[in-house]
Amino acid sequence: MTGRLYGILLIIALAVSLVVPLAGCGGQKEKGTQAENTYTVADATGDWGFPSPYAHYFRGPGYIRMSLIFDTLLWKNEKEYIPALAKSWEYNAGENSYTFSLVENATWHDGSKFTARDVVFTIDYTKMHPYQGVSAGVVKKAEALGDYRVKMYLDRPYAPFLEYIGGTLPILPEHIWKDVGSPEKFQQEKALVGTGPFILEDYSKEQGSYLYRANREYYQGKPAVDRIRFVKMGSQVMAAALRQKQASAAQVPPELGGALDEEGFFILAGKHDWVAKLMINHQREPLNKKEFRQALAFAIDRQALVGTCLRGHGLPGSPGLIPPDSPWYNAAVENQYPHSPERAALLIKGLGYEKKGNFFEKNGRALELELLVSGGGQGSPGAPGDREGEMIKGQLEKVGLKVSLRSLESKTLDSRVAEGQYDIALGGHGGLGGDPEMLNRMILDKGFNSARYQDSQELNLALKQQLTLMDRESRRELVGKVQEIYAREMPALPLYYPTWYWAHDGRAPLYYTLQGVGSGVPIPLNKMAFVNQND
Amino acid sequence: MINRGYCINYLLALMVILTLNFMLPRLMPGDPLQAIYGDEAMIAMTPELKEELISRYSLDLTQAGQFRAYIGSLLRGDLGYSYYYNVPVAAVLLGSFPWTALLVGLALCISTGLGLFLGIESGYRRGRTVDRLLLGGFMWISGLPDFFVGMLLLLIFGVTLGLVPLAGAVTPYTGQGWAPALIDGLRHLALPLASLVLARLTATYLLARNTMITTMGEPFIMTARSKGCSGPAVRYRHAGRNSLLPVVTAAGLQLSHLITGALFVEIVFSYPGMGALMYNALLTRDYPLLQGILLLSAVTVLTVNLLVDLLYKRIDPRVAYAH
Amino acid sequence: MHINYWGEIKRDSLGRAGMGTLVVLALLAIGAPIVSQYQPAEYTGAIFQPPSSQYWLGTNDVGQDIWAQLLYGARTSLLIGSGAALLSTFFSVLAGGMAAVLGGFGDRVLMRAVDALIAVPPVIVAILAAAYFRPGASMLIILLSAFLWPGGARLIRSQALSVKERMHIAAARTFGSSWPYLIRRHIIPDLGPVLTAILVLNFRRAVFMEAGLSFLGVADPTVISWGKMMQQALKFSYLEVWKWWLLPAGAALSMTIAALTFTGFALEKAINPRLKK
Amino acid sequence: MLDIRGLTVRYSGLPVLKDINLTLEKGESLSIIGESGAGKTTLGLSVMGLVEGCCEGEILFQGKNLLSLKEEEIRRLRGREMAMVFQGVEGALHPLYTALDQVAEAIAVHSRKDAGSIRKKALGLLLSAGLDETTACFYPHQLSGGLKQRALIAMALANSPEILILDEPTASLDAGTKAEILALLNKLAGDRITIMITHDIHSAAYFSDRVAVLYGGRLIEQGPTGEVFKSPLHPYTRGLIRSCPDLSTTKDLQGIPGRMMPGVTGCSFHPRCTQRIHLCSLDIPEPVVTGGRLVACHRGGIVPLLEIKKLSKIFGKVKAVREVDLTLYQGETLALVGESGSGKTTLARTVMGLLKEDGGEFCLEGANISKRDAFFYQRVQMIFQNPMESISHRMNVLQAVREPLDINRPGDEEANNHLVRKALDEVELPGDQYFLNKYPHHLSGGEAQRVAIARALVLEPRVLIADEPTSALDASIQAKIIKLMLSLQEKRGLAILLITHDIALARKVSDRMAVMLKGSIVEEGPAGKLLGSPRHQYTRLLVNQSESPAKSMIL
């Protein structure tokens, strides 16, 4: 009877609907299955790619997960450079060359010895296959002096050499990588043989989870933790996960910092590495005039933005782009643009605009700017959205500039900015904590995050020069001068730096690395925090 | 029994969808390079890196060239390489599809079964308190979006009561046997499933109830009662059987939103489903992955419609007669 | 058709309740400036305030008054919801009716087009549309009805097929009524109950999708709506604030949908006299 | 033994049955006759315990009072001790199960036997009821009216119940099938108590020992069938018997409208002629001789109005209509008779354009018609068998009748409303506002059919095609409708193509008759001659079957 088909459907549905809720609510509370000493880190996105040097996604967290397996020549802690695969290194100004003397007791995870040949091979290999953050083109020649000394000749004085080639480039085992044609597709077991403190046990792309076990023979001492587990969790439930012991460390929303602190968690307020910027299209009338851009800087109350939109968890933007708590910060630019609508109006009048009613006009045509904003969605915490857009629109219209607000999907906005089809737009980027070479990228380069401002010769010259000053003190002074010119030219207006908070239960001494992990990753998961260094 | 007309139809529809799949991602402003690498400032877009990426993604070919390559590789059954994940698209899809199929498929079965059962009971007692209560209750629930219900459940059961794990589909690496792992999987599944079922229950319930009311007035119900059939037999085997047709149509429709239907619930529970995968693919303008997802969604819709048409004939012989 | 709808609805208790709620909501939406002294976008400076005498429903993360947002949000949500529902149902009736009447080749082509449209995930089309057009209320309504009509078309086609075979349609054909007249005068009114159900269903899906779109950033930033409130509230669910921010928006939405469905039921009796004993 | 004492049934306060007393012994069969709405069906339902209204009094059966039993107890009796076959074959069988499934279910409900033997028993029952191997496994929509009725009867007799109630078993069945069903019922009656509810006096006379007449919910007469029909005591019973058409009476004389008028210009007959044209009133027609016949008429005698040449219609493999030639003359009634399934209705629907013809053509008043346009519809109209279905239940009487005018002549509303009232008056229906606002489900069968006729006539057509117009109606109302159509023909000169399976009715009404068998016309000719000496053997069979078996009894 055809009733059978119908009966079966009903029975399955009923049976399943009984089992699931029962199992759902009945189970025992989630107890930490800490067979051995497992350290769990919760992350909102979860999957950052297969943690081999060429396969992980080109984002900060991807680099962190790879750095646990592969070591670099030198590394950084919260204060300064510390030796890693290279015991010591010295710079010979005459030959413009660096000589590294390597540790002798380091071994690859598959047991073979680590020698200078691996370092030379890595430099040559990176020349053919550019590694994401680092261009090895600057090394003219690298030669191995015996098994444990390497000398690298630079083709030009390059200040960030130690930061990038020395401290970011992961050293690859020659005996594995020498015949790998397309490195990003090389995702077998062998691809994960490194010299780092941890070995990858499992990686699941769908669950967005990683499991590392300690490398007992690590040449810098046995890791303090047996296993590290990365787990994917919604950003709204991070705090609950910490409280229920489902995670030991996680990035938490700013508002919960205080509450978690009282409950005995360790709160780490992050360096201000991410900046929210007002991108200005300085090719278009009237934005091409310096005075107009300065007027914008006076008109927008950056302190109010931090107070309302970030609820105080952040610093107002410094006109020189570099955040106040960075070692390269130049205090002179501090209060060059206090919030004063009057001075803004004065500057605009100077450009020949008169105020009719409550908006400025010039020979009959109203002055109107279109402000592009990227709507809701999953931007990084503190990214400017339509709320900041509304506030800036209010402040500019108080001064007399008519603003029409338009919300776009984030990538559409990026492409609009890249093609210059915009007046002003809200955007932002990270990397401020790293080497000042970032300034070149954020002012001269062609990426949409960069201001692409070549008009001021003085600025261009200073920027090129600062790369070549090997001596730190004189470079600091030149970077300070760059900030002053930038503040005057104002190709893009830094609005604010959101403060990110990490919370952890103290089982590992997490800290923020000097100028970020590797080439500037603002995450406190420095691998050396998990290694109790015996020396 | 599927005559030639049907096959040509579905092939035609598939061709149209394939061209659509190819065109849609490329129409979107912005290109993959910018979407994937633009964001992170720490990547120095060195000239050699840029043109190596362009050749790797074969973005240098003309649109027509890319289309021919796309169709060619499709015929060979190769869905291409994902730009962002650096893994074959097929592998990525195989990773997420089972989880979505489990979640949305199960939700659909439960909501259809439950909706049918409640609809028939409520339709049979039209106007009495049970009917009014059920009707009123469902009206309020149907007004809440699925992510709203999801968040409420998460806050109550997950955060405050801590009964249920807070996110994901499985507690990774707990190293248990398969039985506790199954229980753990179910405990993860409980809340997202409940929110999806609540969101979809009302439509089926209303359909079943309305058809039930009209069917109870039919003469063959009197014949059934005169045969001495028991109350439940009359309700389910005679009257209920009639409301199976509209409910199956509605279930077919809901099933076609399988892929993107649960996007928001997946985001709230960070459940590794296809919705979240597609949202990421959109953010990174990952053309091959987008094409793969669109193809999978199109194939699901076409097969579902084919199944519903076949099921029509099985459930209601008159339909076969009317065609 | 001299059936006075108003009389029908008044007599049915559910209908009265439904219609009453809808009227109250409309009045609140229109009279928003009178009922609350704050503007939806005004920064009152006090963030995350619990409900108090000054702020009836408390304030949100940037200190905007939630009660004001709820009222002004009602305007957008009701406008976009009903606009999209009407437009999409119109398209569904057109396509569904045509497919049922044409039969044969026309029917198959239309239905395959519907399949193809259902297959394309709405998320992509939304982003495409928002990139090229300014997301104002009218663009949203057109966009939403483009997603909603295929579903309704399939339902209407299957119902129209069964109505087409009825005797009184054959009778009407014998005194020379043309197909368009038949659709307008006989087939569509006979589909009355299905139409009310589809209207309510489409209204509900339109408001949910509008919420989804504002999550993707495809929305007019200066306009507040219930959907957008829910999206913003979702981000702060780890604080206490969700109790007086997320819940009111959800409650308002479900009350509207319930009211609409009850009115639809009362109307159903009016459209189908046979239900009247 | 079944004993009904003082039974009163009320539907939401309205008394439908008042104080019924009946006793029936084992093996006795009773017919209940009366107009619809007299409460016949309610009596049957109350015995089965399926009445929604509240019942007072007692129904004693097997020592138990059925009215006081709990639902569960009486449910177990239904189908096993007492069974009922319902009126209206159309929806009685569940559309989604085959006949065999439904009969098997009737058995399975009351027996523990395994499925296989139950299905075999069910098949046996269906075969004995007149279905064959293939039709037993058909779905209801694939069965003809007669076969559905047989299946229902088989289902009722599944557990050989003691009481068998039949509600209008022979309504809307053609003569042949009706005779077979009655024979089947007689064979299966056996020693059961059988109650037949019908408005067809012939079936009652043929089938039952005793007759009870119901009028307005009261039992007004009861007694052995022979005596009640031979000498009815109650005037209502006599009226019932007289209004039922019978072979024995010849066709009534039909009057001619108007009176002879002296000094008339043009053709003298034109004021009373129903096929007159403008020319007739101007000059006198010349006599014309054709083939030995002479006629003086501008239009050459009675004008052929509707000519159908070589019409054929094929459904899949079934050739429903095979090259039919038929001519309908002006002001004449042509009856098209034949078994159900012989293609009569298909022919009518193809003429009206509801079905596309696969061959052949039509001429209306000499002009060839290919497309059905306003010109065709203002001359040819059709009415259907089931009046309730043919009017949209969402339209009240005013809108329904005015619809053709709204379509073809959307003139001012007031003029159309006037035409509507005139048409309603012609079909003897009140034109007041209260009636105009009524909906189809408020009207009785007769009234609905009259509205349908008014709607058809509002455009003043020349031809009216009536597809089984009265088979679904009670005898008394049937007579009124037929009389109405004939008087309209007189007044308007309407040509009527009457499609019916009731030879007696056809003989009473039609001038000419055509007999249809399996899609083609086997014999055609004047009604009296054709029935007097049928040439084709199928016509002879039809005449014998419809000769009422109880003829000897009545006269």
| Four-way CATH pick for A3-50+205-271+501-530: 3.40.1010.10, 3.20.20.10, 3.40.710.10, 3.40.190.10 | 3.40.190.10
Using alpha carbons only, how large is chain A's radius of gyration in Å?
A: 27
Amino acid identity, position C69: Q
Contact D203, D170 (CB under 8 A): yes
pLDDT digits 0-9 by tens, D429-486: 888 888 888 888 778 777 888 888 888 888 888 888 888 887 777 777 777 888 888 8
Domain membership flag for residue C173: yes
Residue of higher predicted confidence among B55 and A200: A200
For residue D108, the distance in angstroms to the closest alpha carbon of chain B comes to: 10
List, in sequence order, the alpha helices (H) in A368-514. 386-399, 410-418, 437-443, 457-468, 472-489
**In this complex, is the C-beta atom of B128 within 8 Å of any C-beta atom belonging to chain D?**
no
Using alpha carbons only, how large is chain D's radius of gyration in Å?
A: 26
For residue B13, the distance in angstroms to the closest alpha carbon of chain C comes to: 6
Q: How far apart are CA A426 and CA C220, in angstroms?
A: 16
The H-or-E segment that residue B249 falls in is helix B241-256
Q: How far apart are CA A467 and CA A161, in angstroms?
A: 10
**Res D248: pLDDT:** 43
**In this complex, is the C-beta atom of B218 within 8 Å of any C-beta atom belonging to chain D?**
yes
Instruction: Say if residue B133 is exposed, middle or buried (CB neighbours under 10 Å; 0-12, 13-18, 19+).
Output: exposed
Stretch 140-159 of chain B: residues touching chain A, C-beta under 8 Å: 151, 154, 157-159
**In this complex, is the C-beta atom of B107 within 8 Å of any C-beta atom belonging to chain A?**
no
Residue of higher predicted confidence among A428 and C193: A428
Residue of higher predicted confidence among C217 and D25: D25
**Res A1: pLDDT:** 36
pLDDT digits 0-9 by tens, D388-419: 788 888 888 888 888 888 887 777 788 888 88
What residues pair up with D214 in beta bridges, in sequence order? D219
Q: At what angle do helices C226-235 and B146-153 cross, to 10 degrees?
A: 30
Domain membership flag for residue C5: no
Nearest to A405 among C218, C221, C234 (CB): C221
Query: Is B113 in contact with A12 (Cβ distance < 8 A)?
Result: yes
**Res C269: pLDDT:** 63
pLDDT digits 0-9 by tens, C224-243: 888 888 888 888 888 888 88
Question: Within 10 A of D219 (CB to CB), how many other CB atoms are there?
Answer: 19
For residue D398, the distance in angstroms to the closest alpha carbon of chain C comes to: 11
**Neighboring chains of B (3 or more beta-carbon pairs < 8 A):** A, C, D
In the three-class reduction of DSSP (H, G, I as helix; E, B as strand; rest coil), residue B184 is classed as helix
Mean pLDDT in residue range D327-350: 83
- CATH superfamily assigned to domain A275-498: Dipeptide-binding Protein; Domain 3 (3.10.105.10)
Nearest to C273 among D382, D404, D439 (CB): D439
Long-range CB pairs of B129-132, under 8 A, 24+ apart, other chains included: B131/B209, B132/C14
Domains of chain B: 18-75 (no CATH), 96-322 (1.10.3720.10)
Domain membership flag for residue C4: no
The tokens for D164 are 């068998």
Mean pLDDT in residue range C42-67: 83
Amino acid identity, position B131: D
- CATH superfamily assigned to domain D2-81+161-295: P-loop containing nucleotide triphosphate hydrolases (3.40.50.300)
Nearest to B85 among A21, A49, A211 (CB): A49
Q: How confident is the model at residue A27 (pLDDT cuts 50, 70, 90)?
A: very low
pLDDT digits 0-9 by tens, A462-490: 888 888 888 888 888 888 888 888 888 88
Domains D2-81+161-295 and D304-554 share a fold: yes
**Neighboring chains of A (3 or more beta-carbon pairs < 8 A):** B, C, D
Q: Which residues of chain D neighbour A2 with C-beta distances below 8 Å?
A: 96-97
What residues pair up with A365 in beta bridges, in sequence order? A362
Contact A8, A198 (CB under 8 A): no
Query: Is A1 in contact with D96 (Cβ distance < 8 A)?
Result: no
Query: Is D142 in contact with B321 (Cβ distance < 8 A)?
Result: yes
The tokens for A266 are 């360790």
The pTM score is 0.77
The domain spans of chain A are: 3-50+205-271+501-530, 275-498
Long-range CB pairs of D232-241, under 8 A, 24+ apart, other chains included: D237/D213, D239/D476, D240/D33, D240/D201, D240/D213, D240/D475, D240/D476, D241/D201, D241/D554
Domain CATH for C185? 1.10.3720.10
**Res C277: pLDDT:** 44
Instruction: Say if residue D241 is exposed, middle or buried (CB neighbours under 10 Å; 0-12, 13-18, 19+).
Output: middle
Contact A22, B4 (CB under 8 A): no
Q: How confident is the model at residue D553 (pLDDT cuts 50, 70, 90)?
A: very low
Q: Worst-scoring range by mean pLDDT, A135-149, D122-136, D271-285?
A: D271-285
Closest CA to D270 of D286, D288, D285: D285
The domain spans of chain D are: 2-81+161-295, 304-554
Average pLDDT, chain D: 79
pLDDT at D292 over 50: no
CA atoms within 13 A on the CB side of B290: 25
Greatest mean pLDDT range, A118-122, C136-140, D31-35, D510-514: A118-122
**Res D234: pLDDT:** 67
Contact A65, A200 (CB under 8 A): no
Q: At what angle do helices D445-457 and D413-426 cross, to 10 degrees?
A: 130
pLDDT digits 0-9 by tens, A149-201: 999 988 888 888 888 888 888 999 998 888 888 888 888 888 899 998 999 98
Closest CA to A494 of A336, A312, A327: A336
How is A398-440 classified by DSSP, letter by letter? Answer: HHT-EEEEEEE-HHHHHHHHHTT--SEEEEEE--TTS-THHHH
pLDDT at D490 over 90: no
Query: Is C172 in contact with D439 (Cβ distance < 8 A)?
Result: no
Q: How confident is the model at residue B110 (pLDDT cuts 50, 70, 90)?
A: very high
**Res C1: pLDDT:** 35
**Res C83: pLDDT:** 93
In the three-class reduction of DSSP (H, G, I as helix; E, B as strand; rest coil), residue C79 is classed as helix
Q: How far is CA A525 from the centre of its chain?
A: 13
Q: Which residues of chain A neighbour D101 with C-beta distances below 8 Å?
A: 1
| Domain span holding position C183 | 11-43+53-276
User: How is domain D304-554 classified at the CATH fold level?
Assistant: Rossmann fold (3.40.50)
Q: How far apart are CA D555 and CA D541, in angstroms?
A: 23
Nearest to D79 among B218, B222, B226 (CB): B226
pLDDT at B33 over 80: no
Q: Which of C3, C168, C186 to mutate to test the interface with D (most CBs of D within 10 A)?
A: C168
**Residue entry with tokens 């096929």:** D275
pLDDT digits 0-9 by tens, A212-235: 999 888 888 888 888 899 988 888
pLDDT digits 0-9 by tens, D124-158: 989 988 888 888 888 888 887 788 888 888 888 88
Q: Which of C14, C208, C244 to mutate to test the interface with B (most CBs of B within 10 A)?
A: C208
The tokens for C253 are 């939405």
**Res B269: pLDDT:** 87
Q: How far apart are CA A247 and CA A40, in angstroms?
A: 5
How is A124-179 classified by DSSP, letter by letter? Answer: HHHHHS-BTTB-GGGEEEEEE-SSSEEEEEESS--TTHIIIIITTSPPPPHHHHTT
Q: Worst-scoring range by mean pLDDT, A448-452, C149-153, D360-364?
A: A448-452
pLDDT digits 0-9 by tens, C262-277: 887 777 666 666 555 4
**In this complex, is the C-beta atom of C229 within 8 Å of any C-beta atom belonging to chain A?**
no
Mean pLDDT in residue range A56-79: 87
Query: Is B17 in contact with C161 (Cβ distance < 8 A)?
Result: no
Residue of higher predicted confidence among A379 and B220: B220
The count of CB pairs under 8 A between chains C and D is 66
Query: Is C273 in contact with D372 (Cβ distance < 8 A)?
Result: no
**Res A492: pLDDT:** 87
Greatest mean pLDDT range, A296-310, B57-71, D526-540: A296-310
Residues 6+ apart with CB under 8 A from D453: D383, D427, D469, D481, D484, D485, D488
For residue A411, the distance in angstroms to the closest alpha carbon of chain D comes to: 54
The tokens for B142 are 């149907």
Residues 6+ apart with CB under 8 A from D448: D387, D388, D391, D440
Q: Worst-scoring range by mean pLDDT, C200-214, D232-246, D329-343, D520-534?
A: D232-246
The H-or-E segment that residue A259 falls in is helix A257-262
Q: Which of C42, C43, C124 to mutate to test the interface with A (most CBs of A within 10 A)?
A: C43
The H-or-E segment that residue D368 falls in is strand D367-369
pLDDT at A6 over 60: no
pLDDT at A10 over 60: no
